[in-house]
């Protein structure tokens, strides 16, 4: 029976062995979201850089997107589902409050009974938090972990809220982690700033404000965000912690010599990413973005963008992942890239 015991020390580094991603086929244009939000397509693209996003159809839900990305990652890693010793799903839009969405994913892809599967919620930082968690849990076990970032924000948006309705899309990205001959996951850093926890939230639906006709009528089950304060947080906190992390690991963002360093940030807003990358010294060709096509896909945005970026990565390149979002939180990971094939 598969199991995972956390003990001992690593015999080999843990790295990304395979990747996969999935976005729904339902393309939502700026024209479709602009009118309900009281704005124009031109305003959306000018302010956010987003040209379209994907929203799930009614028969697609979080575990469906996650399982599709998971199957692709397992195939890419050239392992069997029976080789998995852990399934970890990062999401803030689960199928339901209980059971964990990871359990539904495990059932959908045929993970053997007994394999641990659980969810992690760090909102848009979730995938990097989950990656760091799984990497530490695999130390000393020699096993494989399936780590998924997935969100369906289209289900919790208020179409009339210009601050949020135009930004978000749905998607899922997955990686298989396991022992590697390279350096794999070199370092991670996770940070949370609870004094800023109210900048991004869904007020109702939990134990504090249970779902009720009153909460629904007030729209308290919808996603809310203080956009200006979030931008200020990213500029004042995220840029600093990323720069400190880079300094601690002697990363030169603008160097052209091997190993090159690629930047894969959370896809919050193209204009925000452009400024963050410029402040950190990353050139456009090594700052990877998918937000123009897919919008902000929450916990999925980092793995979806990493999967998209693989065609630009060479062996031994370094990849800096930077997740940031609700909590407020920031998650950083430095990887050495090894092609899966």
Residues classed as catalytic: 124, 266, 296
d(CA 73, CA 184): 16
| Phi/psi at 186 (5° precision) | -80, -45
Nearest 10 degrees: Cα torsion 104, 109, 113, 114? -80
How many separate helices (H) and strands (E) can be counted in the chain?
A: 12, 13
For 185, 223, 259, 298, the CA distances from 310, given in Å and listed in that order, are 16, 32, 15, 20
Buried b (16+ CB within 10 A) or exposed e, 163-192: ebbbbbbbbbbbbbbbbbeebbbbebbbbe
Dihedral sign (CA 204, 208, 213, 218): negative
DSSP 179: E
44 CB contacts (<8 Å, ≥6 apart)?
A: 30, 33, 34, 50, 166
Are residues 90 and 299 in contact, defined by beta-carbon separation less than 8 angstroms? yes
User: By C-alpha distance, which of 125, 132, 107 is closest to 16?
Assistant: 132
């Amino acid at each position: 029976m598969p199991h995972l015991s956390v003990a001992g020390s690593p015999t080999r580094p843990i790295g990304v062995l395979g990747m996969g991603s999935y976005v729904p086929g339902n393309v939502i244009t700026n024209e479709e979201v602009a009118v309900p939000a009281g704005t124009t397509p031109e305003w959306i693209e000018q302010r956010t850089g987003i040209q379209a996003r994907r929203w799930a159809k009614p028969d697609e839900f979080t575990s469906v997107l996650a399982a599709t990305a998971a199957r692709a990652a397992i195939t890419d890693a050239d392992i069997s589902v029976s080789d998995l010793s852990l399934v970890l799903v990062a999401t803030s839009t689960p199928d339901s409050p209980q059971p964990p969405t990871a359990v539904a994913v495990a059932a959908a892809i045929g993970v053997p009974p007994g394999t641990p599967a659980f969810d992690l919620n760090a909102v848009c930082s979730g995938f990097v938090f989950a990656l760091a968690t799984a990497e530490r849990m695999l130390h000393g076990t020699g096993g494989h972990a399936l780590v998924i970032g997935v969100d369906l924000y289209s289900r919790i948006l208020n179409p009339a809220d210009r601050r949020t309705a135009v930004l978000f899309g749905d998607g899922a990205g997955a990686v298989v982690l396991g022992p590697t001959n390279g350096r794999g996951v070199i370092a991670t850093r996770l940070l949370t700033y609870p004094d800023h926890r109210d900048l991004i939230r869904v007020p109702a639906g939990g134990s504090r404000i249970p779902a009720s006709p009153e909460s629904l009528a007030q729209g308290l089950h919808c996603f809310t965000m203080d956009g200006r304060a979030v931008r200020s947080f990213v500029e004042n906190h995220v840029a600093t912690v990323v720069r400190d992390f880079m300094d601690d690991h002697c990363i030169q963002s603008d160097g052209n010599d091997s190993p090159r360093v690629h930047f894969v940030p959370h896809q919050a807003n193209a204009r925000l990413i452009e400024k963050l990358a410029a402040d950190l010294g990353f050139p456009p060709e090594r700052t990877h973005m998918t937000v123009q096509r897919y919008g902000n896909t929450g916990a999925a945005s980092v793995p979806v963008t990493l999967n998209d970026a693989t065609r630009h990565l060479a062996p031994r390149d370094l990849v800096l992942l930077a997740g940031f979002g609700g909590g407020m939180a920031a998650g950083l990971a430095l990887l050495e890239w090894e092609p899966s094939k």
